[in-house]
Structure 1
Amino acid sequence: MAVRGRLLDLNVSPDGEGIELWLREEDGSVRSHAVRWRPSIYVTGPESELERLARAFERSEMVEVREDPGGRPVRALRIRVGFGERREVAARIEELGGYRSLRVHNVDVPVLQQFLYENGVFPTALVELDPRSGSLRALDSREDLEYDVGWIRTAQLEVFPEAGGRVPSFDDRLREVRVVACGEEAVLDGDEVSVLEGLAGLLARWDPDVLLVRGGDQFVMRYLLHRARCIGMKLEMGRAPSRNRPGPPEVYWSYGRVYRRHRPFRLRGRVHVDPENSFTFAHTGLHGVIEVARTCVVPLHDAARYTIGQCMTSLQYEVAHRWGVLVPSKPTRTLYLRLSDLLLMDRGGLTLDHRPGVYWNVAELDFQSMYPMIMTRFNVSAETVNCSCCATDGIPIPEMGGHTCRRNRGLVPEAIGLPLRKRLAYKRLIRSLGPADSAVYKARADALKWVLVSSFGYLGFRKAKFGSRLAHMAVCAHARAALLRAVRVAEENGFEVVHGIVDSLWVRREGATEEDYARLAAEVEEATGLPVNLEGVYRWIAFLPSRTDRMRPVNGRYFGVTIDGRVKCRGIEARRRDTPDLVREMQLEMLGRLARARSPEELRDAALDCIGLLR
């Protein structure tokens, strides 16, 4: 008999022979179901060698796939391998082929995500499972906006050791545990035995699906298990026993900063989220994590810890699986350009210098998700740039020359299409509702925004499996053309262009109203084919000069106040991470005083008042 339920979590089964699914079933209980399954790798090369290789593997079959999104179908050998064996098997196969004739694919696709792709399901989906055959199918869609998450029970756990030093250690005794769940709060204190037994009892009684533990990956979860072992107690934080190997944290460099990410602590049947080890949770909360898990087809546990680039990669892997495209072990596209071509093509986004000073009645027009919209609108992907099928009638690329394909959808535009559509739909819902009613939609939209932010950079990333620097340059070329077209439309309507940065344009006209600016935004949208939003109308805005040359502008540094009293600033000390709190608070106080000015005279008086504050 088929089982229906919400897919809470999944993990490799303890016997290593399949996947263990955890479903919130229709009667409200959470149960595990084992599905026999093994991950696949694919091998391409001469058919004679593939047939010989097939005889060495019991679980193998010949299938028709494509090595490249824009390529022709080829025959490949699909091999089912054990968990944790893919890299070893791939290395042996490449060695057998002399590192030339045999190519191995899909080695890097995470196994749990590969299982989700193959079965067409995603976390928190309503699914139907046939326990006998192991067949699994989703009964709802990733496209859904109004999906149910009310069935997810959440508990927040705080642990307080008796710290013997400045930094807690495993040798410190457990003093207190606080648990908040189901609208209740429990404080457990006393001796360690009673605290740990009380914690086990609360987890059994409240039975949460998601456990929020600040510092859980770094220290807390392993600390609790260690203290339980010290008193001879077996403590299970999940719904079933799990094993987590200790190891050093991952250290990586990104945009000039060093980041440290601790090894995740995974539970069976329960999702553990460490707010200190989760970019998505820190910025968008649990609703954002769930949205990323559903849209990007990533288990909830991983969605909380993945970088935005890893989420984007999962979107591309899902499309590749759906289209029958193999994932290469290494990026295969290289680009060699003459210096003259490089100077023409690699120019980034367009920035229009402003004249430093204070401007009144200025509107800011923003292209919504400009780069992702360009990639979908003009079908920009590695395989669509200068395709052979549209040499004479393709979509032209401005300035660069060349074209993108009109006939076949690109893999990257297909991958970002879903999060882009959903984000725009969420933003429409947010505008139609009040702040209190739209908080969940805002969290979901913000989570998708972070994923989409990575789509453009990842297109030109040297390690991206489906990236291309030429495609990356093509997106910039379309962006420059769109901003220039917006400038022309504004000037033809009698507006003065004050400033422009890549996807934003500041314009003004004497006596213009908010409705005038809204009509201009609509005209720019019609002229460019890209969605344009009237971000706001400033009562006044100050664009700043260079400290070394008062006549030279510093792009991206400004502050101002909108007609509804909101202060907006970019690039100044109040926005920087490395600014001392004293300086930040002083600048914010100054901005608050300046924001009250409603005329040039009042602004001048407020500025003089701020100088007094500085002294």
Structure 2
Amino acid sequence: MATSFTQTLSNGVSSVEFWLLDINYDVIDEEPIIYMWGVTRDDKRIVVVEKNFRPYFYVLTDPGNIEIIKKKLQPYRVLSIDRVEKKYFGRPVTAIKVTLSNPRTVPEAREAVASLAGIREVLEADIRFYMRYMVDKGILPSSWLEAKVREVEVPRGWQVDEAYEVVGDITVLDEKRAPKLRTYAFDIECYNKYGEPDPERDPIIIISRMHDAGEEVFTAENGGERRLIEEFVEDLRTYDPDIIFGYNTNLFDWPYLLKRAHVNNVKLKLGRNMGEPAQSVYGHFSVVGRANIDLYDYAGDLQEVKIKTLENVAEFLGVVPKSRRILIDTNRIYEYWDDTSKRPILRQYALDDAKSTYLLGQVVLPFGIQLSSLVGLPLDQVFAASVGNRVEWFLIRQAYRFNELVPNVKERREETYQGAIVLKPKPGIHKNIAVLDFSSMYPNVMIKYNVSPDTYVPPDEDVPRDMVWVAPEVGHRFRKEPPGFYRVVLESLIRARKEIREAMKRLDVKSDEYKILDERQKAIKVITNATYGYSGWSLARWYKREVAEATTAWGRELIKKTISYAEGLGLEIIYGDTDSVFVKNDEEKVAKLIEFVEGELGFEIKVDKVYSKVFFTEAKKKYCGLLADGRIDVVGFEAVRGDWAEISKDIQEEVVRIVLTEEDPWEAVDYVKKTIGELSRGKVPLEKLIIWKTLSKDLEEYEVDAPHVQAARELKRLGYRVGKGSKIGYIVVKGSGKVSEKAKPYVAVKSPDEIDIDYYVKRQIIPAALRILEYFGVREEHFLGGKKQASLTDFF
């Protein structure tokens, strides 16, 4: 809903302090208006409008071409064309700054200028208008701002207490504590008799929600789907949340809700401006005036959680254990709806989803706020954006401060380069092993050797040897002076994090101040450590393969020198990977090694963890260790791929536990044999045997009958809607022929008697167990009745 904001309630100029929650813009009568949505000190929801900012871009060309540019841009309401002095990759350049009236004309104007002869580049024309405003004004989202304003009338229907128009400066206040934000989590359940629900056909039957004041389940039992959606809209608008949490809502719930609302002729007027959710950048859905956060985006960064279901993530983060919630097979939701006696179970399941989402949101939100205010992306975008995008927006803000032009995004092919050093491990079980970890190794390499796109010296450029750093092995050169763009940025980040951690030492760990600072330092760490990877990302604006390649070369040299010195001390090296070294925990020698690395090599290193026992095979990046507190670390062994059933994962986790805690591989063999017996007797739940695989293309495009493709074709014959992107679950049943000929949709498997026991034993259970146990001399026949050979003590 557009508004002109023309009626002024008072001519007096005042100051307002508010926490910036959301920002967007509109164009009214060819003039852009920026809307900043916030929360004030006294808990009011306000909108602050800016009407005086205009879009612009830069042109790299001969200054004599200004008149040609003016003529070409006559149709686009140009406000000014100015000659400005900037830097581009650290080199001074003269640029032409073109300022327009309407941001929506920028793409056409850019193309018009780019088509002229003599134009080298058109820069910064692709920076979103409201982001351009925040960068130029130094405004940070998820932060406290103070603005000189004049109060204006609140547009009719808008859910704000007050409205203001900017008439002076806006400054960021030095305060990290967020206001009390109203949070709201929801989840939808759809009728799915034919597999994956189809929004063209299948109605929403339940919407559950939990907010700060309580929980509720809305169903289609009374009044049908239309009334259900209306109740949800009314409930959300009545509570008027600042934050909306969901799980996979950007990919599923929001588009589904919008489609079903349209079918039922209902408007999802959920924005504070009465607007409907709309898909925006990074695929996220924007709900104007609120922050819509899809926690599935956050889960994407949790490497420890392989299958990122809501219940798995909630359990991993300790908010809702699986044992304390209802779990049902989501593909059978329609059965619970059709059987009215089961509907209470379905309602509780839906409510448990909303509760898990809400509690997960409370855990994630403090980090999201700090990450948002650090990199400058609004709260609803910061998780949806890739790590590369987060780093890039942080760098764009720094570039503005340093008068650096921002390069364009360019299509590039992926370029490979040698990565980190990974030593071949000493196989076996080792006791009392210390893991020495370099603190921010790659960022510190980039700082020490001034590695940056603007300090790179091309091979054909003649520079005295004493003025450059030369990377080992690869020979790339970087100027020692002046400090490069990356160096300045990384130094400021590392310095800020150290200051925060020092401040944390003086605080009570239970205090709010400590928690806020802890989330802040985590956010800084994420961006600091991601900068190296960003430099080698093919989509990066500041892409430079030589930067990434030189950084890893110096990293390899650092690890080699560390290992060489450790061996000279008589320390046994068990393994090394990227920025970590595993050594026998001889405390005196470890202390000497740390002193050498920090004193002679100039890098910080510390003992990150100590394993009471750790097990390696001959393979790199695969180990499992037992920590002093009883926790088990498993790296690289996980049998979790598209062609593994859950029973394989369960088997492997228990085998690791037995091997490390009981120190008897044959006890693990007995456990596996027991599980095989339970499978043979039909005692293993069918859900444990489902193999999940996603269709990467439409069924008609498959030339080979893979198991999941065959199962998908059967589902289609049964009336289910399947296609590209559908997640297919199948079970291998008895029969002759290839596995694909025995793959049956799991919804069609009714009894354990149908299961192909031999397949699951020989292709699922035993291979998962042998990934750990084959090192101890265990072979397939030992699970099928063979005798024992060695004990674990033979392998120390």
TM score, norm. by length of structure 1: 0.82
Partner of 1:151: 180
Deviations 1:528-547, CA, capped at 9 Å, x for gaps = 322223121222222212xx
**Paired amino acid for 1:495:** L
Contact map agreement 2:625 2:634 (CA 8 A) in 1:
yes
**Paired amino acid for 1:152:** L
Contact map agreement 1:5 1:126 (CA 8 A) in 2:
yes
1:270 maps onto 2:272 in alignment: no
Quick one: distance in 2 between partners of 1:354 and 1:110?
Answer: 49
Partner of 2:19: 6
Quick one: distance in 1 between partners of 2:563 and 2:530?
Answer: 27
Aligned equivalent of 2:610, options 531, 537, 549: 537
Aligned equivalent of 2:390, options 311, 336, 356: 311
Contact map agreement 1:281 1:288 (CA 8 A) in 2:
no
Contact map agreement 1:113 1:299 (CA 8 A) in 2:
no
CA displacement at 1:317 relative to structure 2:
1.2
Partner of 1:129: 147
Contact map agreement 2:17 2:40 (CA 8 A) in 1:
yes
Quick one: distance in 1 between partners of 2:452 and 2:487?
Answer: 7
1:32 maps onto 2:47 in alignment: yes
Q: Secondary structure in 2 aligned to 1:480?
A: helix
Q: Secondary structure in 2 aligned to 1:48?
A: helix
**Paired amino acid for 1:28:** D
**Paired amino acid for 1:160:** E
Partner of 1:258: none
Aligned equivalent of 1:371, options 423, 426, 442: 442
**Paired amino acid for 1:191:** G
Aligned residues: 570
Quick one: distance in 1 between partners of 2:435 and 2:642?
Answer: 25
Q: Secondary structure in 2 aligned to 1:31?
A: strand
Relative to structure 1, is the Cα distance of residues 133 and 213 closer, same or farther in structure 2, using a 3 angstrom cutoff?
A: closer
Structure 2 unaligned segments of length 5 or more: list them: 1-13, 150-164, 304-362, 673-782, 784-796
Partner of 1:339: none
Aligned equivalent of 1:608, options 649, 666, 682: 666
CA displacement at 1:2 relative to structure 2:
2.2
Quick one: distance in 2 between partners of 1:297 and 1:367?
Answer: 28
1:582 maps onto 2:642 in alignment: no
CA displacement at 1:412 relative to structure 2:
2.5
CA displacement at 1:24 relative to structure 2:
0.9
Contact map agreement 1:129 1:137 (CA 8 A) in 2:
yes
Quick one: distance in 2 between partners of 1:490 and 1:226?
Answer: 63
Partner of 1:503: 579
Deviations 1:41-67, CA, capped at 9 Å, x for gaps = 111211111244246453123242335
Aligned equivalent of 1:237, options 249, 270, 282: 270
Contact map agreement 1:213 1:274 (CA 8 A) in 2:
yes
Q: Secondary structure in 2 aligned to 1:72?
A: strand
Deviates more, 1:178-187 or 1:275-284: 275-284
Q: What percent identity do the matched residue pairs reach?
A: 22
Structure 1 unaligned segments of length 5 or more: list them: 251-260, 337-341, 546-553, 598-602
Contact map agreement 1:397 1:474 (CA 8 A) in 2:
yes
Deviates more, 1:556-565 or 1:433-442: 433-442
Larger relative contact order, structure 1 or 2 (CA cutoff 8 Å, min sep 6)? 1
Partner of 1:398: 472
> What are the equivalent positions in structure 2 for 1:222-261 lying under 5 Å apart?
222-225=255-258, 227-228=260-261, 233-242=266-275
Quick one: distance in 2 between partners of 1:439 and 1:610?
Answer: 42
CA displacement at 1:567 relative to structure 2:
1.7
Partner of 2:210: 180
Deviations 1:520-577, CA, capped at 9 Å, x for gaps = 43542333322223121222222212xxxxxxxx211122223333322211135767
1:293 maps onto 2:325 in alignment: no
Deviations 1:498-519, CA, capped at 9 Å, x for gaps = 221221111116xx24x76456
CA displacement at 1:238 relative to structure 2:
1.4
Partner of 1:413: 487
Partner of 1:362: 433
1:48 maps onto 2:90 in alignment: no
Contact map agreement 2:63 2:83 (CA 8 A) in 1:
no
1:525 maps onto 2:590 in alignment: no
Partner of 2:254: 221
Quick one: distance in 1 between partners of 2:100 and 2:477?
Answer: 40
Quick one: distance in 1 between partners of 2:68 and 2:55?
Answer: 21
Quick one: distance in 1 between partners of 2:137 and 2:87?
Answer: 21
Which structure would you say has the larger Rg?
A: 2
Quick one: distance in 1 between partners of 2:640 and 2:228?
Answer: 43
CA displacement at 1:492 relative to structure 2:
3.8
Quick one: distance in 2 between partners of 1:102 and 1:405?
Answer: 26
Relative to structure 1, is the Cα distance of residues 383 and 181 closer, same or farther in structure 2, using a 3 angstrom cutoff?
A: same
CA displacement at 1:5 relative to structure 2:
0.7
Q: Secondary structure in 2 aligned to 1:62?
A: strand
CA displacement at 1:462 relative to structure 2:
3.4
Deviations 1:345-374, CA, capped at 9 Å, x for gaps = x54322333332222222111112321232
**Paired amino acid for 1:541:** V
Partner of 1:475: 551
Contact map agreement 2:420 2:556 (CA 8 A) in 1:
yes
1:88 maps onto 2:108 in alignment: yes
Partner of 2:405: 326
TM score, norm. by length of structure 2: 0.64
Partner of 1:464: 540
1:381 maps onto 2:460 in alignment: no
**Paired amino acid for 2:239:** W
Deviations 1:402-449, CA, capped at 9 Å, x for gaps = 543333222233444555555666777889976998877666655555
Q: Secondary structure in 2 aligned to 1:351?
A: coil
Quick one: distance in 1 between partners of 2:236 and 2:277?
Answer: 20
Partner of 1:61: 81
Contact map agreement 2:254 2:277 (CA 8 A) in 1:
no
Partner of 1:111: 129
Quick one: distance in 2 between partners of 1:595 and 1:472?
Answer: 38
Deviations 1:266-305, CA, capped at 9 Å, x for gaps = 1111111223355568787223322221111111122131
Q: Secondary structure in 2 aligned to 1:505?
A: strand
Contact map agreement 1:24 1:31 (CA 8 A) in 2:
yes
Deviations 1:468-510, CA, capped at 9 Å, x for gaps = 122222101210121122123323433122221221111116x
Contact map agreement 1:54 1:60 (CA 8 A) in 2:
no
> What are the equivalent positions in structure 2 for 1:419-434 lying under 5 Å apart?
420-421=494-495
Contact map agreement 1:390 1:406 (CA 8 A) in 2:
no
